Amino acid sequence: MSVSDTKRTVDAIWRIESPKLIAGLTRMVRDVGLAEDLAHDALVIALERWPASGIPDNPGAWLMTTAKRRAIDLLRRNKLRDRKYEELTRSAAMFTEEDMDSQLDGEIGDDLLRLIFMTCHPALSQEARVALTLRMLCGLTTEEIARAFLAAEATIAQRIVRAKRTLSARKVPFEVPAGEDLKPRLAGVLEVIYLMFNEGYSATAGEDWVRPLLCREALRLARMLAEIAPAEPEAHGLAALLEIQSSRLKTRVGADGEPVLLMDQNRTRWDRLLIRRGLAALHRCQQLGKPYGPYALQAAIAACHAQAAAPEDTDWVRIAALYEALSRVMPSPVVELNRAVAISMAFGPAYGLQIVDELNREASLSAYHLLPSVRGDLLYKLNRFEEARLEFERAASLTRNRRERDLLLARAAECMNGK
Amino acid sequence: MIVKATTDSEAGVKPSQELLDAMLRYNEELAKAGVLLAADGLQPSSSGIRISYPDPGGKPKVMDGPFTEAKEIIAGFTLIEVNSREEAIEWAMRMPDPHGGGQGEIELRQIFDPEELSANEETQQKIKGQFKL
């Protein structure tokens, strides 16, 4: 096998194995930065040896053994406490490929779960959590992460280094939070995945409307989390939400890269497989028998849309009720705005406008482009074209996404014709 | 990942407990990595139907199974979503030997990117608009 062939295969193996490697090594050395370095060292050794020796039958176990040896060398050099060193030698000596296999079955899932709780730790900024999670759990390179966020590679690299340093300095434990801590910490993990997806789904800045890489990785993480934390209803809720949102990814962009809104999308091109997976995940969430949390509720709303063959078949009354429930578990002006849209669809634009006008007094929404955008739409439907035009123009001036701005200006122009 | 049929799978011989366990473990590993989209085993071709079009423009011919040539028959499939050809190969290499006995065969096929489907620029533009990611 040539060196470049090996490199490509090793890259693939890295993507598959690195989260498990880093998780397993973090359990051993209790420092995620060090664990990543060790895993990386093992990868470099593999790249040197495998072109000649061929790829071992169980590359994951090979990498793990090699990384563990490096860990022991390192600890020996650093003359770390004797006891820890002994512990490590013993575990490495007992370590065989069979252990690795059995670890893959049970332990490894737990380690991955501990790792994601670590990379999404509240000691880190939201941006750092997303970058670190993409790096450790998705096996993405700094360059790939930078490209996904349209950021300079150095910025992301620094963000990751700093995050690892913070985790190390704060001695953040490698564990699944227990008791009262679990709920808020799990919510933190779900939020990181959700934000990652959203950043890809409706890019807040830049030229493009969607960034598929972020959506894909977030969906993969959500699926992973539902597998390794199957008793958590919201893990399934988030997976369901992202599966269903992803089913529409391909129809959200028109031929010239412009956004296509939900009601205008070609529903025959929605991905049925992903919708089915989403409904199945929602069903699993329901089976756990607890009241729906915010993600499950949003998934249930997305499911209503997914199950309507045509826009006019949409069960808006149910959607309005689900938004009502959502506004109770997760009160927010944005949810309220969405409820207004659902109400207007279910009972007429005038009812929706009432809610929106109340929201207009909300200071936190003053820079939120969707508020004037929705208000403009409702006014348009009520034939109040001049007011609608002003709202669309205002919305256009507030969005940072060029594609979305074009769309809003086009709607403003429509108002001129409507009059 | 398409699993080809074998004499055993065509004869309706159920997989051994050992193979079933290995498959379950493998699917779980795919799911835990977040790459598994769908996986199913298919009944033998004796319960299958084949529709062929021997005369262009003519009526299709409907034929009941079983069909011969086990290697041309599919016994199961696993749909995964990965970032590269190498990653797909790597996962496929980890799939347990489907039916043993020296006949096991797995074929890897890639799902078309819809924009690859047409050479016509206008159609391409249309497909791109509706599919492109």
Instruction: Summarize pLDDT for B101-117 with one digit per residue, the tens.
Output: 788 899 999 988 665 66
Q: For residue A14, give the chain B residue with the closest CA.
A: B87
CB < 8 Å from B in window 99-118 of A? 104-105, 108-109, 112
Contacts of A240 (CB under 8 A, 6+ apart): A278, A279, A280, A281, A282, A285, A295, A296, A299, A302, A303
Q: Which residues pair with A206 in a beta bridge?
A: A401
- CATH H-level superfamily of B2-131: Dimeric alpha+beta barrel (3.30.70.1060)
Q: For residue A218, give the chain B residue with the closest CA.
A: B34
Q: Which residues pair with B3 in a beta bridge?
A: B76, B106
CA distance A19 to chain B (A): 9
B96 sits in the region (left: phi over 0; alpha: psi -120 to 50; else beta) called beta
Burial of A111 (0-12, 13-18, 19+ CB in 10 A): buried
Sheet containing B36-41: give its strands across.
B36-41, B74-80, B2-4, B106-107
Contacts of B46 (CB under 8 A, 6+ apart): B10, B12, B65, B66
Asked if the model's pLDDT at residue B133 lies above 60, the reply is no
Answer for the pair A356, A340: CB distance below 8 angstroms, yes or no.
yes
Structural tokens at position A366: 């003053």
Rounded to whole angstroms, the Cα distance separating A165 from B112 reads: 43
**pLDDT for A22-48, tens place per residue?**
999 998 888 899 999 999 999 999 999
Rounded to whole angstroms, the Cα distance separating A200 from A215 reads: 5
Q: Where are the domains of chain A?
A: 1-105, 108-207
Asked if the model's pLDDT at residue A64 lies above 90, the reply is yes
Q: For residue A217, give the chain B residue with the closest CA.
A: B34
Topology adopted by domain A108-207: Arc Repressor Mutant, subunit A (1.10.10)
> Residue A271 — pLDDT band, cuts 50, 70, 90?
very high
Interchain proximity A250–B87, CB inside 8 Å = no
Q: Which residues pair with A259 in a beta bridge?
A: A253
Interchain proximity A253–B86, CB inside 8 Å = no
Which stretch of DSSP H or E encloses residue A217?
A: helix A212-228
Answer for the pair B5, B25: CB distance below 8 angstroms, yes or no.
no
Number of residues that this document lists for chain B: 133
CA distance A401 to chain B (A): 17
Rounded to whole angstroms, the Cα distance separating A62 from A75 reads: 20
Please name the residue that has the structure tokens 């290697």. Answer: B71
Contacts of A106 (CB under 8 A, 6+ apart): none
Answer for the pair A21, A60: CB distance below 8 angstroms, yes or no.
yes
Rounded to whole angstroms, the Cα distance separating A106 from A111 reads: 9
pLDDT of residue A239: 98
Structural tokens at position A216: 């894909």
Answer for the pair B15, B92: CB distance below 8 angstroms, yes or no.
no
pLDDT of residue A101: 45
> Residue A104 — pLDDT band, cuts 50, 70, 90?
very low
CA distances from A243 to A173, A248, A278, B38 (A): 32, 9, 5, 13
Question: Does A333 sit behind a cis peptide bond, omega within 30 degrees of 0 on the bond before it?
Answer: no
Asked if the model's pLDDT at residue A206 lies above 80, the reply is no
Rounded to whole angstroms, the Cα distance separating A155 from A91 reads: 38
> Residue A260 — pLDDT band, cuts 50, 70, 90?
confident
**pLDDT for A323-350, tens place per residue?**
999 999 999 998 999 999 999 999 999 9
Q: Which residues of chain B neighbour A256 with C-beta distances below 8 Å?
A: 129
Q: For residue A101, which amino acid is it?
A: D
